[in-house]
């Protein structure tokens, strides 16, 4: 009987899976490693707490951090109540086969795929011109709120639907109204899913550039109110790397800070998800 020395084709899927995973991990490590190599030597407390000088080539990013914080605060203040209310409506007051609920869900799915620059043009037309807010932190935050709502609503809706139906039946048997059941039973139980949606939405908003170019503006001075123009971290990176000769050093340092914040947010989401799953499964 001849001896088969051919390649074992059953190992091909395993090799492809491991190869793909290794490639992705290698890309991530190379990406982060490049940021650390270029940006870490210049990252300091002084860089975080001083004003930008010489078009961003010198000095720090204190005004940029403050502007980013204001923009994200406006985004969350507007998006959270709307997102929670809409998700509760879709999960508790509509059915998956209902025409109205199906229309809203499909609208959210379409909006979640719209390029961010389209949201920027929409925000510029509505908030900057129609409402007269101009290039301001308020315009940028409201635009980001519109952009993150589809993601926040869909994740929060799934959080409501993950709550066992037994809680609803028990509340109804005790004579609780649907509103009371929603506020005192379902919202606390769905809070972990809502929190995951908030953190993911915050991460997307923090990394956004195109939507803010047309709404919050480029000004890198310390904002005094929400009606002032403000430069976000992502726009600062874009401007230094594309429009400011000699700004690469501070661009890399700012990018390292932004990516570090995104990694921490994603790590927090992972931890919360595991904690939530363990609680639901009763695993210590």
Q: Tell me the pTM.
A: 0.86
pLDDT at residue 270, as a whole number: 80
pLDDT at residue 7, as a whole number: 56
Domain boundaries, the chain: 41-281
Question: Is residue 5's pLDDT more than 60?
Answer: no
pLDDT at residue 101, as a whole number: 84
Band (67; pLDDT cuts 50, 70, 90): very high
What Å distances lie between residue 29 and 26, 37, 271, CA to CA?
Answer: 5, 12, 21
Band (12; pLDDT cuts 50, 70, 90): confident
Dump pLDDT digits (tens) for 131-148: 999 999 999 999 999 999
Question: Is residue 3's pLDDT more than 60?
Answer: no
Angle at 226 (CA atoms; ends 153, 239), nearest 5 degrees? 85
pLDDT at residue 192, as a whole number: 81
pLDDT, average across residues 52-73: 89
Distance from C-alpha of 176 to C-alpha of 255, rounded to nearest angstrom: 51
DSSP 126: I
Question: Is residue 1's pLDDT more than 60?
Answer: no
Dump pLDDT digits (tens) for 79-98: 999 999 999 999 888 877 77
Query: 41-281 adopts what CATH topology?
Result: MetI-like fold (1.10.3720)
Dump pLDDT digits (tens) for 235-266: 999 889 888 888 888 999 999 999 998 888 88
Angle at 268 (CA atoms; ends 254, 203), nearest 5 degrees? 45
DSSP 267: H
Band (8; pLDDT cuts 50, 70, 90): low
Contacts of 212 (CB under 8 A, 6+ apart): 71, 120, 140, 143, 144, 232, 234, 235
Angle at 269 (CA atoms; ends 268, 272), nearest 5 degrees? 85
pLDDT at residue 130, as a whole number: 93
pLDDT at residue 282, as a whole number: 56
Pairwise pLDDT comparison (9 vs 143), residue with the higher score:
143
pLDDT, average across residues 174-179: 84
Distance of CA 20 to the CA centre of its chain: 26
Band (121; pLDDT cuts 50, 70, 90): very high
DSSP-based three-state secondary structure for 58: strand
pLDDT at residue 146, as a whole number: 94
């Amino acid at each position: 009987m001849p001896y088969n020395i051919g390649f074992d084709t059953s190992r091909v899927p395993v090799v492809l899976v491991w190869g793909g995973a290794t490639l992705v991990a290698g890309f991530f490590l190379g990406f982060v490693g490049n940021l650390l190599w270029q940006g870490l030597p210049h990252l300091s407390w002084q860089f975080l707490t001083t004003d930008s000088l010489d078009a961003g080539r010198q000095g720090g990013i204190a005004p940029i951090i403050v502007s980013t914080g204001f923009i994200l605060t406006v985004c969350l203040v507007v998006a959270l109540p709307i997102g929670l209310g809409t998700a509760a409506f879709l999960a508790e007051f509509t059915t998956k086969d209902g025409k109205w609920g199906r229309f809203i869900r499909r609208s959210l799915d379409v909006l979640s795929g719209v390029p961010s620059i389209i949201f920027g043009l929409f925000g510029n037309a509505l908030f900057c011109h129609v409402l007269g807010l101009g290039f301001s932190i308020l315009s940028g935050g409201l635009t980001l709120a519109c952009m993150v709502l589809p993601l926040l609503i869909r994740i929060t809706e799934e959080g409501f639907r993950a709550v066992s139906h037994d809680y609803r039946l028990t509340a109804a048997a005790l004579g609780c109204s649907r509103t009371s059941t929603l506020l005192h039973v379902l919202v606390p139980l769905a809070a972990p899913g809502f929190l995951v949606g908030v953190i993911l939405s915050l991460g997307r908003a923090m990394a956004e550039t195109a939507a803010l170019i047309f709404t919050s503006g480029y000004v890198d001075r310390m904002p005094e109110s929400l009606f002032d123009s403000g430069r976000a971290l992502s726009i600062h990176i874009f401007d230094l790397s594309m429009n400011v000769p000699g700004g690469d050093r501070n661009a890399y340092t700012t990018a390292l800070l932004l990516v570090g914040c995104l990694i921490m947010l994603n790590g927090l989401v992972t931890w919360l998800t595991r904690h939530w799953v363990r609680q639901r499964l009763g695993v210590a």
